[in-house]
Each structure stands twice: as structure tokens, then as C-alpha cells.
Amino acid sequence: MRLSRMLVPLATAALLVACSADDASTPAGPEPPRDTPSLPQEPPDTARPTATVVPPEPVEFDAAAAFAFVEHLADGIGPREATSAAFHEAAGDVEEVLTALGYDVDQVPVPVPSGDSWGVEVPEGESANVIADPPGFDAGTPYVIVGAHLDTVPQAPGAEDNASGVAVMLELARMSAADPPEVPVRFIAFGAEEPRGPGDALHHFGSQQYVADMPAAEQDALVAMVSLDRVGVPAEAVPVCTGGTGTTSIMDALVEAAEGVDVATETCENRASDHWSFEKAELPAARLGSVPYAGYHSPDDVPSVVDPDQLDRVGTVVWAWLTTL
């Protein structure tokens, strides 16, 4: 329960800040002069009901909460090679957060082969996809998948790659639980995205398996898949990419949503994330993120490379898009 406890104080702190801002905004005006003739006073209007309806707070991305989860994964747990105990600890934490938000969460095992991951030998073993559905979810009717890979290469604590994507995904899950988008969202923390050898088959194991196991009806009902992968390194523009072989409709819609919330974007083509598994199956997909940085796939991929404002920009864009569907 450690994580839920960590997230609750953040929400409480945000409320306290909002309340004290309210108090401060009440002006301490001058006292009225005492000799002014007083106007006849109206009797108290007892017939008018007192206002009891409080307008709902707009749901907003909480960058501090997202950054706290980046620190938790990268500093608190550390490198999360797809089959390691650390990976499974992180998967348990993601499951716990999503369950506390009211999602139905399932961990689906992902068997992976031994190999070479970015120059380090990795064993054969088991990773997992953590799949979270909102209450009453039906994958036979239109829905969206927002995903982020949870594993890292063995030598990297993976703050940017990809605690950043997981953290933004969890914030979007919190926002979706508070104010469900019209098209429901399935959230997936994918296992074993990082390579275990060369070539197109030896990476993205979690998403490749997921797509291979998708019933035809679920493929037909999928409106879009968005992969959040390396979304926290600061940049002038948020990269919005596809693999270059399928529809650009999701990329275009994300760019348009970003314009609506004044976030600059840059379109690009790459196949180095889980969106590619979907695009190869001719499913509509896009990826956010991929700004180059010095700590990539190294022990220097620590929280200081991640900018909470960039997490905020990416989360705000995805939320703007989700709420237009």
C-alpha cells in the first residue's frame, strides 16, 4: 500500500494550496464610514435556497505526482530488465496504483528468450504485461489503448526510458478514473520492450504478444493505440511519431489536440517502440516521445534528465486528445 499512501499526500497538498490561495484572494477592504446614512435593509431572503452545488474541479495533469513516480521507479527500484525481480516489483506497484484507482487489473505473463540487450547478456525468463480496464469495459465496442513499456535495458535505471512514459500513463489513468472520457481507455504497462538481440522480432515482446493474442473483434473496435516512450527530456516540441507504414490519422489528431492546448509538436517516423507492433498489424497507432539525450541506455538515465514540465506537456496533449474522441 506504500504507493497509494505516497500519492494521497500529493493530492491533499494540492488541495491545501488551492484553499489557501482562496483565502488570500479575499481583500481586506477599508471599513465603511460610520456616519453614512444607512439604506433601509432588506429582510433576509429566507426563501432563496443556499447554494449547495459545487462545480466539479477540472481534471488536470499533476506533474509533481508523475515526477514522484519517475523517482520511485528509477531511484527507488532501479534497473528493471524484463525478467528481473525488480521488473516484477515495478509491475506489482503499477498494478497496485491502478487497482486503487478502480481499474480491473490483470498481469499477463510474457515469456522471453535469452539474448543480448544493449551489450549485456540477459537470461530466458518471464516478463509481464500489466493490463488495466475501467469498470464495465468492453473491448468489443470502441476503445483506446494508452501504453508505456515498464522494462529497461539491464544497465539503466530508466528514468526517461521509460519511467517517464509509465508515470504519464498513470496520471492519465487517474484523470480518466476521475472524469471518464467518452471512449473508454485500456491502460497497458508493457513488458520486454527493450531488445534481446538484433532485428525486428527480438524486441517489443510484450506488445507483439498482446497484438498476436487480440481477438478480431478487439482489433476491429480499437480506435487508437498510443505509446508513451521517453516523454520527459525537455525539448521545444513534443515528438509525435508513427512507423511510417500505416495511417497517420492518430498522429494528426494528436498534433491537432496539441495545438488546442498550445503545445508545440514535431512529427517523426520511428519504429522503436510498442506502437510499431500495432502498426505492423495495420492497427491505428502513434508514439509520443523520443527526444535524444546523453544518458540513453546508460546508468546516467536518472530522474534529473526528466523535466516535470515536459511530462506535463505530454500528459496535457494526450488528455486533450482523449477528451475530443
Cα 50 to Cα 301: distance, rounded to the nearest angstrom:
55
Task: Figure out which of the listed residues 161, 279, 301, 312 binds Zn ion, where binding follows CB under 5 A.
Answer: 161
Using CB under 5 A as the binding rule, whether residue 62 contacts Zn ion is answered as no
Using CB under 5 A as the binding rule, whether residue 274 contacts Zn ion is answered as no
Closest distance of CB 117 from Zn ion, Å: 12
Cα 58 to Cα 22: distance, rounded to the nearest angstrom:
16
Stretch that binds Zn ion, among 1-9, 107-115, 161-169, 317-325 (CB under 5 A): 161-169
112, 127 Cβ separation under 8 angstroms: yes
Cα 166 to Cα 323: distance, rounded to the nearest angstrom:
20
Using CB under 5 A as the binding rule, whether residue 301 contacts Zn ion is answered as no
Closest distance of CB 105 from Zn ion, Å: 22
Nearer to Zn ion, 101 or 110 (CB): 110
Give the number of residues written for the chain: 325
Stretch that binds Zn ion, among 52-60, 155-163, 241-249, 298-306 (CB under 5 A): 155-163
Using CB under 5 A as the binding rule, whether residue 229 contacts Zn ion is answered as yes
User: Quick one: which of 88, 74, 86 has its CA closest to 127?
Assistant: 88
Stretch that binds Zn ion, among 140-148, 208-216, 223-231, 248-256 (CB under 5 A): 223-231
Nearer to Zn ion, 93 or 194 (CB): 194
- Counts for the chain of helices (H) and strands (E), in that order: 9, 10
DSSP string covering 143-203: EEEEEEE----TT---IIIIIHHHHHHHHHHHHHHHS--SS-EEEEEES--S-SSSSSSSS
Task: Figure out which of the listed residues 83, 84, 129, 162 binds Zn ion, where binding follows CB under 5 A.
Answer: 162
The residue ranges that bind Zn ion (CB under 5 A) are: 161-162, 229
